[in-house]
Structure 1
Amino acid sequence: MRDELERPFAELPAALVEELLGKSAELSRRLREGLDALRSARRAYRTQLEESHLLQREGALLDVPVPTTCGVDGAYAVERLIATDLVAAVAVAVEGLTPPSETRHWPEPRHRAYVQTERHEEEISTLARAVMIGMELELAAQAPHEVVFIDGSLTTPLIYFNQAMNRAQAAPDLHLTEFLLRNMEVYLAAYRDVLLSQRTDRAWVGVPKYSVRREIGRRLGWPASMDDRAMLTNLLEPGEFIRPQPLEAPRQPWHLQLDPLPEGIRKRAEALRGEIIGLLGRVHVIYYRPRAWLPAFRVEMGGAVAENAAQLARVMQALRFQSSGPGILEPYPIYLADRMVKHLGRAIPTFRQVISQELVKTYEGDVDEVFLNLHGYRTESGH
């Protein structure tokens, strides 16, 4: 691993490396032109923000105590073996920096895990990803903290669930399919609770690292070459934020396929689906730049949080307090959770070796058959 980091081009043909490096000057020039144009127009864009009354400062928020927080993230991995697929999905919830006045403590990260072998099937990764995000939502809904950060957009679970439910029809006999269908009602109920944020002592917010959304840019007529997060990273001063704005409507209505569910579960799931789709229409987004060394955060929240001054102030206080370490470009508990789950893809090949060694102890045939059939040739992972 160290060799890969220190010699990133070591395995590439020299001519290919030379061609890639030869393009760096042109790419640098294009990037400079874009940044120069943004810098030249910065004053005009700032004036637009101020005149639109979208721009707010921390001083306008209610004064609230630093809340307790946690971050939730997940990962999945599929180890493609000769004879089978080894599938794993995990979710972890990690407590953030503890406020000075807080005496309670979550002693260790909470987690959910799924691991199973499956026959070779194209649908595996889509189903594993849905299980991963379902476990994330379950952990998030059960977390006892005042502000719960979810790594990603609040709209992503519906998209992943719909994709997986469509694939479930094509592969009904997979263990993953059975597990997802059995737990879908629980996952949808957790998703509903996260979007509803009905309790005044709890707030769930999504903090996506990557976004192409342009709610602010479209409203103000900014160039389409930069999304809102990129623009506002360059426009907002530390301590400034964009007041809550309705989430950009999808090009097509939200949809979730539920036909694969057993009839008894399906009726309850359909009711949850209706609630979820209605609540997605009330999701709001803010952009906030808490520190000079940080980019603007895109933060998505349910309408109950966005429209409650105390809840909004609590979320902003949590973001500021959990972003106090230079070099960490996201809220601290999300950073920790992300670091943990990223290791899943690298851990699965080792887990496969342990399984192979256990199998060898009891296998009555030629042990070469074990290692041949459990040879891994590709690992797919995501989070």
Structure 2
Amino acid sequence: MTYEVHEGYARLPEDLLRDLLNGAEDLAGQVTEMLEPALDQREQLRSTIDSLGLIRTFQPCQPVTVAGIDGGFAIERTSAVDISLSVAVGVEGLTGETVYWSGTQYEWWTRVSGHDLETERLARGVMVAQELAVLRDAPHGLRILDGSHITPVIQLNTALTAQSEELRQEAQRVWTRLQTVEALASAAKDIRVIAMPKYDSSRVVCATVANELGLEIPGDDKYLLGLILNPRELLLPQQVPEQPWASLHFNARSEADEKWAQAFGEAIQPLKERELKFTYFKPSEFSPAYRIEFKGNVPDEDFNTILATIESQITGPFVREPYPQYLADVMAKSVGLGLSALQTAVQLRMSGMGRPEIAELLIHSYRTEGV
């Protein structure tokens, strides 16, 4: 997600806003056309999926300790330089008492550089390395990675293939400090690590049902299963499809980067060999169907423990994620506010050093970008 930070807010022109609102009826029609068929055929779709043996009922058991990890970055593009800030946070799940962490765990990184459109690639590569570091060091029985297992691969490769050698070297310096190769390998094989992407475009289940019924199923798997699963039901765990998993890889921009591409590639070998399963689980009536990616060698009793732990962290209908994942996400999304505070602090320091003309250059920004 990319956003802009403003003082106050900018009003859209009145005519533009009126035209936008006049288009709401057409937009509502498009939404209805896309989502209505599955709603109208809910019973038939459920019957089909049930007949295929794809619906299971969760067997309650004792949950374990859990932590949620997420990251964010922001880039302040001032009139003179780019200021980057990247953070990752880990939040402990709800329990009656503190289990392992007395406070939020975090990693942060900041950098000042000349204007470069590829700065975002560096920030993404650093952010995910920080997430992996917090994830690796969490001692909890279950650790939730925000996003898919594919996400770190994409973000690390984005930084590794930046055209700027300076940016690649900075990314590799951070990766060395955080031992990112080892952290990535741990995330790819540790059965205590699961991934829960909020945004999901998978249509594996939709395609199966469509083939069985001989009709088109609009929407995606998350939408479909959110409609048809009852509370405490889940999709029979499935091995992840061949694509894109079997094709995961890292590229090297130069010969010096080859060792990183090779090491990262070896670290994700379990993902390339598809030693990963996924399911959709609906803990309660008001919750969505959560996509959960977990290791293929997780024993059945441990799989039930994963579901029980997730169910124990659902706090109500208005929080659409397990509690630690939700809170980590809220914190990580506040990175833009942190960068604004840092920028102000730097301006004050520069003024105090007798260089107000330099401080003034940090006041004027083109825009702030981040996730």
TM-score, scaled to structure 2: 0.89
Q: Deviations over 1:236-286 (max 9, x none)?
A: 1111100211223335821102455858xx658624522413334222111
Say yes or no: does 1:131 pair with 2:120.
no
Classify 1:376/1:315 alpha carbon distance in 2 versus 1 (closer, same or farther; 3 Å): same
Task: Work out the CA distance in 2 between the residues paired with 1:141 and 1:261.
Answer: 29
Aligned-residue offset at 1:103: 6.8
Say yes or no: does 1:210 pair with 2:199.
yes
Aligned equivalent of 1:22: 22
Where 1:173 maps in the other structure, the secondary structure is: helix
Aligned equivalent of 2:236: 243
Aligned equivalent of 1:96: 93
Alignment of 1:156-171 (within 5 A): 156-167=151-162, 170-171=163-164
Structure 1: where are the runs of 5+ without partners? Answer: none
Where 2:236 maps in the other structure, the secondary structure is: strand
Aligned equivalent of 1:378: 367
Task: Work out the CA distance in 1 between the residues paired with 2:351 and 2:260.
Answer: 46
Structure 2: where are the runs of 5+ without partners? Answer: none
8 A contact 1:153–1:208 mirrored in 2: yes
Task: Work out the CA distance in 2 between the residues paired with 1:43 and 1:190.
Answer: 44
Say yes or no: does 1:113 pair with 2:105.
no
Aligned equivalent of 1:278: 270
Aligned equivalent of 1:192: 185
Alignment of 1:1-383 (within 5 A): 11-59=11-59, 64-98=61-95, 104-167=99-162, 170-174=163-167, 177-184=168-175, 186-197=179-190, 203-221=192-210, 223=216, 225-251=218-244, 253-258=247-252, 260=254, 262=256, 267=259, 270-280=262-272, 281-305=274-298, 308-364=299-355, 367-382=356-371
Q: Which amino acid aligns with 2:361?
A: L
Task: Work out the CA distance in 2 between the residues paired with 1:151 and 1:261.
Answer: 32
Classify 1:183/1:352 alpha carbon distance in 2 versus 1 (closer, same or farther; 3 Å): closer
Where 1:304 maps in the other structure, the secondary structure is: coil
Q: Deviations over 1:295-341 (max 9, x none)?
A: 11011112223xx1122111101110001323101100011001111
Q: Which amino acid aligns with 1:314?
A: T
Root mean square deviation, CA, Å:
2.3
Q: Which amino acid aligns with 1:68?
A: T
8 A contact 2:189–2:270 mirrored in 1: no
8 A contact 2:181–2:263 mirrored in 1: no
Task: Work out the CA distance in 2 between the residues paired with 1:234 and 1:375.
Answer: 48
8 A contact 2:343–2:362 mirrored in 1: no
Aligned-residue offset at 1:188: 2.3
8 A contact 1:154–1:301 mirrored in 2: no
Q: Which amino acid aligns with 2:247?
A: P
8 A contact 1:84–1:117 mirrored in 2: yes
Task: Work out the CA distance in 2 between the residues paired with 1:35 and 1:166.
Answer: 39
Classify 1:317/1:267 alpha carbon distance in 2 versus 1 (closer, same or farther; 3 Å): same
8 A contact 1:95–1:333 mirrored in 2: yes
Task: Work out the CA distance in 1 between the residues paired with 2:324 and 2:156.
Answer: 25
Where 2:165 maps in the other structure, the secondary structure is: coil
Aligned-residue offset at 1:351: 1.5
- Calculate percent identity across the aligned residue pairs: 28
Aligned-residue offset at 1:126: 1.1
Task: Work out the CA distance in 2 between the residues paired with 1:224 and 1:379.
Answer: 39
Classify 1:184/1:105 alpha carbon distance in 2 versus 1 (closer, same or farther; 3 Å): closer
Task: Work out the CA distance in 2 between the residues paired with 1:79 and 1:244.
Answer: 43
**For structure 1, which segment, 244-253 or 266-275, has the greater mean C-alpha deviation from structure 2 after superposition?**
266-275
Aligned-residue offset at 1:350: 2.6
Where 1:298 maps in the other structure, the secondary structure is: strand
Q: Which amino acid aligns with 1:74?
A: G
8 A contact 1:54–1:243 mirrored in 2: yes
Classify 1:22/1:189 alpha carbon distance in 2 versus 1 (closer, same or farther; 3 Å): same
Task: Work out the CA distance in 1 between the residues paired with 2:240 and 2:110.
Answer: 35
8 A contact 1:73–1:338 mirrored in 2: yes
Q: Which amino acid aligns with 1:379?
A: T
Classify 1:104/1:253 alpha carbon distance in 2 versus 1 (closer, same or farther; 3 Å): closer
Paired residue total: 357
8 A contact 2:35–2:218 mirrored in 1: no
Q: Deviations over 1:43-81 (max 9, x none)?
A: 11101111111100113xxx5321100100000011001
Classify 1:268/1:358 alpha carbon distance in 2 versus 1 (closer, same or farther; 3 Å): closer
Aligned-residue offset at 1:124: 0.3
Classify 1:33/1:224 alpha carbon distance in 2 versus 1 (closer, same or farther; 3 Å): closer
